[in-house]
Amino acid sequence: MEIWDIYNNNRIKTNKTHIRGEKLAKGDYIAIVMILIFNSKGQMLLQQRPNHMEWGPGKWTMTAGGATKSGETATQAASRELYEELGIKMDFTDTRPNFAMTTQNAFMDYFIVRADIDLSTLNLPNEEVAAAKWASKEEMLAMIDNEECMSYRKSFVEYVFDVAVNPMLDSTLTK
């Protein structure tokens, strides 16, 4: 059972918690982290969700991510999620998210990393990830069209790739 902290609409932690799988109350927000890894060729590391998953079974998704657990910071959650899902150890302690978004019930922090990861070194398959591969922006957009990938907005995917491969747009990318 995962327990998550609840935040108000100003991203201030309340004294409430949420149990994963239950419906969030109106006005309650959780914190989510996403780690997006790009290689030196400008490709993003994608993971395929196993068929047994309730949300997006068999679909390809961005590198790694999930909700922060109660008492956890975004940087702690980023390190944990990346290790749990792909077996990659990275310390995000002194790293700020490259950008953030707010959705209906979540504050989402995005960490962009540049690293040439050898796919054969990943801890796959596992409970959360069936497979991994590198994909260019064009390949990912085609995967969205073919419904092989989660239904990301194409403009969002284009933005993420532009930020990741063009250092002039964001000078805070982690090394």
Tens place of pLDDT per residue across the chain (175 aa): 899 999 999 999 999 999 988 899 999 999 999 999 999 999 999 999 999 988 899 999 999 999 999 999 999 999 999 999 999 999 999 999 999 999 989 999 999 999 999 999 998 999 999 999 999 999 999 999 999 999 999 999 999 999 888 765 444 444 4
CATH of domain 3-165: 3.90.79.10
Are 30 and 147 in contact by the 8 Å Cβ rule? The answer is no
Are 94 and 63 in contact by the 8 Å Cβ rule? The answer is no
Listed in sequence order, the DSSP H helices in the chain are: 74-86, 137-145, 154-165
Nearest of 108, 109, 105, 110 to residue 9 by alpha carbon: 105
pTM greater than 0.95: no
